[in-house]
Structure 1
């Protein structure tokens, strides 16, 4: 397994609108995408794009708010009511190969491979197998570098 580009840091938040205000008004973010619902994953999502000097895509901050009472991030927010870092996401060129390699190393995959917020296949690796951090693995979106 070769480490790919970090695509985003996921932050669970109790209010996506309050988090957007924070990144815009306190952190000076100017490139904030429109929030959208991802009910199949139980979340509402908004991406904050960070700038770079190279013209390449910067790392994104993914704000995730529970979609409803069945959201998988509700447990996280119960323990962290103000929100906090939920996961880190790395890109791979081929999701099926990456999953096979993680499984061959004995890493626990959480659930099936599914389509994530970027419209590409993803899976999550258990934090106990990843130095304590829930890790999302995503196939590099077409057209990205």
Structure 2
């Protein structure tokens, strides 16, 4: 298995609207996508683009803002411990999600739930933080279409 690029950093937030203001006014972000619901995962998501090393916006790592859709959301507990929000997970790309899943299972890493479709429309799974140096880690299949 070969690990691909860092696709995004997930940031839990009690308010995507307020977080977008922060990324625009404080961090100078110029491109944010429209928020959308991932009802099956209990969250609302919005991506903020960052520039690549040459300064081209939309080619760098994204920030994934994640807001709970309700009290049953998996983010609710995180935000109870971190009321202002904060870094929730990192997401790495892989070429073949099933090969990656088998590889991590072979290494004895705990996978949280089934492989499912993530916010980029590609298959994903999460690895338990206790097996990943304390960091919740998302593995996603590299999107086949251009962009993220």
- TM over 0.5: same fold? yes
* 1:42 is the counterpart of 2:45: no
Which of 72, 75, 78 is the aligned partner of 1:73? Answer: 75
Q: Deviations over 1:10-65 (max 9, x none)?
A: 00001110000100111110011111111111100000000121757200000000
| SS of the residue 2:90 aligns to | strand
| Structure 1 alignment gaps of length 5 or more | none
Question: What is aligned with 1:94?
Answer: 96
TM-score by length of structure 2 reads 0.94
| Equivalent residue, structure 2, for 1:29 | 29
1:1-145 pair list within 5 angstroms: 1-52=1-52, 53=54, 55=56, 57-144=59-146
User: Once structures 1 and 2 are overlaid, which stretch shifts more, 54-63 or 108-117?
Assistant: 54-63
Measure, in 2, the Cα distance between the counterparts of 1:100 and 1:68: 33
How does the TM-score come out when normalised to structure 1?
0.96
Task: Tell me, in whole angstroms, the C-alpha distance in 2 between the residues paired with 1:57 and 1:140.
Answer: 14
C-alpha separation in 2, matches of 1:34 and 1:133: 27
Q: Structure 2: give runs of 5+ residues left out of the alignment.
A: none
